[in-house]
Amino acid sequence: MKKEFLQKILSDISRVRIAVIGDFCLDAYWFIDESVSEISIETGEPTRPVREQRYSLGGAGNVANNLVSMGVGDVRTFGVTGKDPFGVEMEKIMQEKGIDTGNLIIQDSCWHTHTYSKPYIEERELSRIDFGNFNELSVNTADRLISNLVETIPSVDLILINQQVSSGIHTEYLRRKLLDVIRKFPDKFFITDSRNFNEHYEGTIRKMNDFEAVRLCGYKRGPDDRVPFQEVRNSALMLYERFRKPLFITRGDRGSITVDDSGIFEIPSLMILSPVDTVGAGDSYLAGAAAALASGYSVKIAAEFGTLVAGVTVQKLFQTGTASPDEILGIGHDPDYVYSPDLAEDIRQAKYFNGSEIEIINRLPASPRIKHAIFDHDGTISTLREGWELIMAPMMVRAILGDKFNDTDESVYRKVQTRVWDYIDKTTGMQTITQMMGLPSLIREFGFVPEKRILDGYEYKKIYNDELIGIVRDREKKLKNNELNREDFMVKNVLPFIEFLNDRGIVLYLASGTDEEDVRNEANTLGYGHFFGEHIYGADNNIEGEAKKRVLDKILDNIGESSADLIVTFGDGPVEIRETGKRGGITVGVASNEIRRYGLNEKKRERLVKAGADLIIPDFSQLSVLLSLLNIS
């Protein structure tokens, strides 16, 4: 989504008016510090001293909070609280944030403010303590809610219906009354997010998760099951046929699906490297989508905007987060997405071209006219640096565990290993210094190393490079001594492929996140530097952002936007695939096995499909088929 367009959406939503009716909840976070615990005289049990407490809006309150935080100027709430301290705290928070609480009704009896109290010891959440499970909405309260809503509807653009809990406001009586209201105002936008009554609210746009969608269509899935994409897609079409209203189906970290009279669309999720807390993410998505709909945008654009809002909030830990306009702009002006996760994680779904090893992910233009070919270096052409991950991973694990490296518990050691490999997988293709700048955060995340002993990114890069460069220099020495030849350090058939493209007059570019001097030296050592000439690009000393991304941007900018359809990029990392794809070029993911130098690396394939590659090849051995697909004769 272009920055200017995103700014326009944010400007437009500032003028909309939205009513939220539903189950307003409060999330309470109690952080326990056992260092001052004592034995209770009354019970003989140790006390749980609360060092810090935080309160945030949940349920419909979180939706309203997200709306005002992203800049919606007029948000009006319709709900019920109890005559208790939690209700007072909830209303105070709402008023501080600029949410209209004029229609938040206090029911004196048979109602406690829905509150979810979450005690924490360090990062471990203890058993939750819930309030409001035995609530009973009175007919009088229901009538007051409905009457207030009817009076307000003519002055708002959209009515958002939230149903969060089984003991909330959505009694059978209120549901009937609310359905009458929906029928009374057929030209108004109503959007429903209901855990239990999605089928009931006819005439509304619906937002639900994948489990709720497939359940409504008769599929049997447990709440912890991963719902296959095809089941979700089929369910979306069935539900649209049933309800005849637009539909949003969220899939957690696998994106979402929308369907309306313009068709069905898969909305990819954002690639997020930092730790996430998905509590309230669905509310954030809903708020963003509702605000965009109320501003007159399409269902697809509304879903894309909702994805950006949720992408901000999931990165806010130990709170039910919201997203400001600046945060939405920050994450949305040049986002990275995760494409086709189901296909990526299940190679059985792969479709190959005419019995070859070339996997077709996206259909290419009928007759591409390639004039520019961009090659990533390490893992795409060269394997001189093969095994860098096997150096980086243990180096990071040692840095995280510090003095505890040799005697830490095995389960903790495995947890650190898993976290490190996840970080390496997600940052592959970034500049080494960028990866190392993230290492101190990982070290602090686990807390084994005292702050004063944590190094900076440059120092960790030196430790890593000293270990890596020794391996590279040994391999270069073997080449010079004719103990090995250059084909031993190149992906199969890549050199004939490069020569063929060069002979056809295609301009070649070599792009790497490794320091540029090292890239040139290694390309010349392996004997193909002259094919790229002055078009060899690597990292400089600028650590702002990702070196590989800067390199790709520079090459793509030089080629020019008008020639985007003349570009093909070959790479084994996500950065070159994503950046070329954003510009409209063709992308070929090279899922190379760097040890054998031929054949498929399934882990790379998964990463490249998620990055949006159009084709996947294991190597360049099927040269003639690949050239035919690219229309290079």
- Helices in 97-184 by DSSP H: which ranges? 139-152, 172-184
User: Are the beta carbons of 315 and 272 closer than 8 angstroms?
Assistant: yes
Q: d(Cα 231, Cα 218) in Å, to the nearest integer? A: 11
User: Are the beta carbons of 257 and 292 closer than 8 angstroms?
Assistant: no
Q: d(Cα 174, Cα 138) in Å, to the nearest integer? A: 10
Given its phi and psi angles, is residue 456 left (phi above 0), alpha (psi -120 to 50 degrees) or beta? beta
pLDDT of 233 strictly over 90:
yes
pLDDT average, residue stretch 209-218:
93
Is 3.40.50.1000 the CATH classification of the domain at 341-383+490-629?
yes
Q: Which residues are CB-neighbours of 252 under 8 A, at least 6 positions away? A: 209, 210, 269, 278, 281
Q: What percent of the chain has pLDDT over 90?
A: 82
Radius of gyration, alpha carbons of the chain:
28
Report residue 339 CA to chain centroid gap.
10
User: Are the beta carbons of 495 and 624 closer than 8 angstroms?
Assistant: no
Q: d(Cα 524, Cα 85) in Å, to the nearest integer? A: 73
pLDDT at 596: 93
pLDDT average, residue stretch 26-43:
93
Q: Which residues are CB-neighbours of 476 under 8 A, at least 6 positions away? A: 384, 522, 525
Amino acid at residue number 340: S
Choose among 426, 427, 356: nearest CA to 619. Answer: 356
Report residue 460 CA to chain centroid gap.
28
When pLDDT is cut at 50, 70 and 90, the band that residue 189 belongs to is very high
Q: How crowded is the C-beta side of 109, counted as CA atoms within 13 Å?
A: 3
Helices and strands (H and E) in the chain: how many: 23, 23
pLDDT of 270 strictly over 60:
yes
Choose among 569, 476, 487: nearest CA to 522. Answer: 476
* pLDDT tens by residue, 42-52: 999 999 999 99
pLDDT of 39 strictly over 70:
yes
**Average model confidence (pLDDT) across the chain:** 93
pLDDT of 524 strictly over 90:
yes
pLDDT of 458 strictly over 90:
no
pLDDT at 85: 95
Mean pLDDT is lowest, of 35-44, 385-394, 483-492, 537-546, for: 537-546
- Scan for tokens 């696998």, then name that residue: 254
When pLDDT is cut at 50, 70 and 90, the band that residue 545 belongs to is low
Q: What are phi and psi of 56, to 5 degrees?
A: -145, 160
Q: d(Cα 507, Cα 3) in Å, to the nearest integer? A: 31
pLDDT at 272: 85
CATH homologous superfamily of 3-34+49-338 equals: Ribokinase (3.40.1190.20)
pLDDT average, residue stretch 234-243:
96
- Scan for tokens 């924490």, then name that residue: 120
Q: d(Cα 596, Cα 593) in Å, to the nearest integer? A: 6
pLDDT at 429: 57
Per domain, the residue ranges of the chain are: 3-34+49-338, 341-383+490-629, 388-480
pLDDT average, residue stretch 110-139:
94
User: Are the beta carbons of 518 and 400 closer than 8 angstroms?
Assistant: no
- Scan for tokens 């010891």, then name that residue: 121
pLDDT at 184: 97
pTM for the whole structure = 0.83
pLDDT of 129 strictly over 70:
yes
Given its phi and psi angles, is residue 255 left (phi above 0), alpha (psi -120 to 50 degrees) or beta? left
* 3-34+49-338 and 341-383+490-629 share one fold: no
pLDDT of 544 strictly over 70:
no
User: Are the beta carbons of 137 and 107 closer than 8 angstroms?
Assistant: yes
Check residues 395 and 316 and name the one with the higher pLDDT.
395
Q: What are phi and psi of 75, to 5 degrees?
A: -125, 120
pLDDT of 279 strictly over 80:
no
pLDDT average, residue stretch 577-594:
96
pLDDT of 537 strictly over 90:
yes
pLDDT of 430 strictly over 70:
no
When pLDDT is cut at 50, 70 and 90, the band that residue 225 belongs to is confident
- Scan for tokens 């989504």, then name that residue: 1
Q: How do 269-270 and 114-121 pair as beta strands?
A: unpaired
Q: Which residues are CB-neighbours of 563 under 8 A, at least 6 positions away? A: 371, 372
